[in-house]
Amino acid sequence: MENGAPSEPEDPSTFLAEILGAPVTVKLNSGVVYRGELQSVDGYMNIALEKTEEFVNGKRRRGYGDAFVRGNNVLYISAT
């Protein structure tokens, strides 16, 4: 492939294991966005975050020490 991109797609579980402890953005199906440090993810995409901030319509709504997001609400997880 071009630009040195890998020829095979990366396994999502490998990607998630690589970003444990890193800052991430989690967007929910509702459009709410959480930003924090990824602490754990399970096979159902349940996510535990630390130092979490919640954003609604692009504006910070509140901060949490720890947050747990149920996997069926997750639209995507992005390393930030």
CATH code where residue 19 lies: 2.30.30.100
Cα 27 to chain centroid distance, Å, stands at 7
Q: Is 71 a domain residue?
A: yes
User: What is the full per-residue pLDDT of the chain (80 aa) written as tens digits?
Assistant: 456 565 677 778 888 888 999 999 999 999 999 999 999 999 898 999 999 999 999 999 999 999 999 999 999 999 98
Q: Is 4 a domain residue?
A: no
What is the number of domains present in the chain? 1
Query: How many Cβ atoms from other residues are within 10 Å of residue 71's Cβ?
Result: 12
Q: Is 20 a domain residue?
A: yes
Q: Is 5 a domain residue?
A: no
Q: Is 57 a domain residue?
A: yes
Domain of residue 52, residue span: 12-79
Q: Is 3 a domain residue?
A: no
pLDDT of the residue at 1: 45
Q: Is 7 a domain residue?
A: no
